[in-house]
Amino acid sequence: MDLMDMLNESADYIRSRAGNDRIDVAIVLGSGLGDMADEIEDAIAIDYHDIPHFPVSTVPGHKGRLVIGRLEGHRVMCMQGRFHYYEGYSMAEVVYPVRVMKVMGIDSLFLTNAAGCVNKGWNPGDLMIIKDHIKLIADSPLRGANPDALGPRFFDMTRAYDKALIETTEKIAAELGINIRKGVYMLFTGPAFETPAEIGFARIAGADAVGMSTVPEAIAASHMGMHTLGISCLTNMAAGILDQPLNHEEVLETGERVKKDFSALVRGVIKAWPVFF
């Protein structure tokens, strides 16, 4: 089946459940950050496995549903759980939901994730605005035939993370008294956490954080001309920085610990979300 036909079927199904009202922002919630979706008002939840052509999430801590409703005066669609490359999905499958968003007419994307902190001057629990990313792994969601209806073959990545959204987030964080960081996120495929040597390499390369998500979605969003904001919750110091092993429980625990700040920041940013169109 043609990709555009599949995307339209997915979009039609979501609209049949949630209505046709314009959605202002789509939010993707990372590991341990999914509780935020419970704050959405007048919410309709749609399990991924009910949506035609949608992949289904397999990670503990990821629920696997869309929550559509109102947050801070805006209509939002929230992905509670996302798809990761390490689960076995192709990059194109990983970004499928982002493409559905675009087909639904959504032009703003708010990506969040849990990430390892590479910057030695920062701390677990810090929140970081993604100002840019590094993807050294060869695969790309746009590898193969270009879906021309979505965007051009070759496309710009200098504005992958929207400047106005970054500035808005810095302003809101300052108003809320949240000490926000701004840095470069580097994609690793996982599911193994990185080695200490890989983290040393990431630091030399210019990375402040490492993680296993977000980059494919940001690339697909850029391809389609969407306005993207990325925020990482730095859940742990990356491998080899502290003399201790890494584990997924620490990632979830830190997410739980910073829940209040994270939620306040997301709400503040959604409230102040610039009108682009």
b/e per residue, 209-227, with b = 16+ CB within 10 A?
Answer: bbbbbbbbbbbbbbbbebb
Smallest gap, in angstroms, from Cβ of residue 251 to ligand HPA? 4
Q: 101, 114, 220, 226: which one is catalytic?
A: 114
d(CA 97, CA 105) in angstroms, rounded, equals 13
| Residues near ligand HPA (CB under 6 A), total | 14
The residues in 177-216 that bind ligand HPA, with binding defined as CB under 6 A, are 188, 193-194, 210-212
Question: Considering beta carbons, is residue 228 or 235 the nearer one to ligand HPA?
Answer: 235
- Contact letters (x/-) for ligand HPA, 223-262, by CB under 6 A? ------------xx-x-------x----x-----------
Please tell me whether the peptide bond between 191 and the residue prior to it is cis, using omega within 30 degrees of 0: yes
Residue 16 appears among annotated catalytic residues: no
Among 5-13, 40-48, 77-85, 108-116, the segment contacting ligand HPA (CB under 6 A): 108-116
Q: 11, 18, 31, 101: which one is catalytic?
A: 31
> Cα(first)–Cα(last) distance of the chain, in Å?
32
Smallest gap, in angstroms, from Cβ of residue 225 to ligand HPA? 28
Cβ proximity of 145 and 61 under 8 Å:
no
d(CA 231, CA 166) in angstroms, rounded, equals 10
Residue 256 appears among annotated catalytic residues: no
The yes or no reply on residue 116 touching ligand HPA (CB under 6 A) is yes
Q: 8, 248, 253, 264: which one is catalytic?
A: 248
Smallest gap, in angstroms, from Cβ of residue 30 to ligand HPA? 8
Residue 25, amino acid? V
Residue 57 appears among annotated catalytic residues: no
Residue 36 appears among annotated catalytic residues: no
DSSP letter at 48? G
d(CA 172, CA 155) in angstroms, rounded, equals 30
Residue 87 appears among annotated catalytic residues: yes
Q: 84, 133, 223, 227: which one is catalytic?
A: 84
The upper half-sphere exposure of residue 95, i.e. CA atoms within 13 Å in the direction of its Cβ, equals: 25
261: nearest Cα among 237, 234, 229: 234
The yes or no reply on residue 115 touching ligand HPA (CB under 6 A) is yes
**Which residues are the active-site residues?**
31, 62, 84, 86-87, 114, 212-213, 236, 248
